[in-house]
Amino acid sequence: MKVITTVAEMEAERGRMNGGVGLVPTMGALHEGHLSLVRRARAESDHVVVSVFVNPTQFGPSEDFAAYPRDLDRDLRLLEDEGADIVFAPPAEEIYPPGFDDWVEVRGPLAERLEGEFRPGHFRGVTTVVARLFRVVRPQRAYFGEKDAQQLRVVRRMAAEQRLPVEVAGLPTVREPDGLAMSSRNAYLSPEERRAALVVPRALELGRRMVEVDGVREAAAVRSAAEELIRREPRARIDYVSVSDPETLEELCEIDRPALLLLAVRIGATRLIDNAMLLPRSP
């Protein structure tokens, strides 16, 4: 496994590759969720490139960029064990050289609602860095998690708009045995907060049961029930509870086709997002 830290060296290495290239973009502090993407990339590609880059431009001024967990040595050991070929771990100046102004942005509700509303500028940072990674690594396929459902859709739209010839694959969310979605940010949770965080998967499960078992069709009923459950946890604060169209991420009134239940909840100072697909019973 080779560790590359400059864009020039990454481009040169890419030029020497023959066959299919799979890219897994990450911010490091790797867990089983990330590794599931690397395994899929390994199974489907001749060359597996994993990027490890804590992207400053996708963090807001009052967010956790400085505190974000970083442990490159551990990440490299895990990636070596998974058979990654290249780890691209550039310093910020490589991606954002002085005078950088090459922003890539997706507009419209897909990027402006939900995370776009609560984290202004976040997706501009994501689409800018991912476009740059796609241009440097030129993967045939790139792997993202459904855990960040809106990000996955925004990245797909960005690649289409920028005419970047890459297939963006979305893989299922990997969870802890008790249902909490794996996330590098879970490391911030105190033991009490870790217990409180279970309201997130429980609210998703409640929504799923309402739609899939009880046959509820009104999105408002699902939203209220999920909100009520989360409000019963004193450490939890809701940013949003949304029942959205899985393609456009526009809010739904009636769940008469598959829908995404998306949650953003703060537990103490830690912001968690998660989602589940709701599949209505056929009439």
Q: Which of residues 133-162 bind ligand AMP (CB under 6 A)?
A: 144-145, 147-148
Q: How far is the CB of 234 from ligand AMP (least distance, A)?
A: 26
Residue from 7, 21, 23, 27 binding ligand AMP (CB under 6 A): 27
Residue 47 annotated in active site: no
Burial of residue 12 (CB within 10 Å: 0-12, 13-18, 19+) is: exposed
Question: If DSSP codes are grouped into helix, strand and coil, which group holds residue 33?
Answer: helix
Q: How far is the CB of 96 from ligand AMP (least distance, A)?
A: 17
User: In terms of CB distance, is 88 or 217 closer to ligand AMP?
Assistant: 88
User: In terms of CB distance, is 68 or 96 closer to ligand AMP?
Assistant: 68
Burial of residue 98 (CB within 10 Å: 0-12, 13-18, 19+) is: exposed
Q: How far is the CB of 64 from ligand AMP (least distance, A)?
A: 12
Residue 43, amino acid? A
Q: Residue 274 corresponds to which tokens in the numbers above?
A: 């998660």
Q: Residue 246 corresponds to which tokens in the numbers above?
A: 């899985």
User: In terms of CB distance, is 34 or 153 closer to ligand AMP?
Assistant: 34
Which residues share a beta bridge with 244? 251, 260
# chain residues binding ligand AMP, by CB under 6 A: 17
How far is the C-alpha of 88 from the C-alpha of 2, rounded, in Å?
Answer: 8
**Span interacting with ligand AMP, options 7-15, 114-122, 157-165, 166-174, rule CB under 6 A:** 166-174
User: In terms of CB distance, is 20 or 170 closer to ligand AMP?
Assistant: 170
User: Under a CB-based contact definition with an 8 Å cutoff, are residues 127 and 154 in contact?
Assistant: yes
User: Under a CB-based contact definition with an 8 Å cutoff, are residues 123 and 151 in contact?
Assistant: yes
122 counts as binding ligand AMP under rule CB under 6 A: no
How far is the C-alpha of 109 from the C-alpha of 43, rounded, in Å?
Answer: 35
| Site residues, ligand AMP (CB under 6 A) | 26-27, 33-34, 36-37, 144-145, 147-148, 171, 173-174, 181-184
Residues identified as active-site: 34
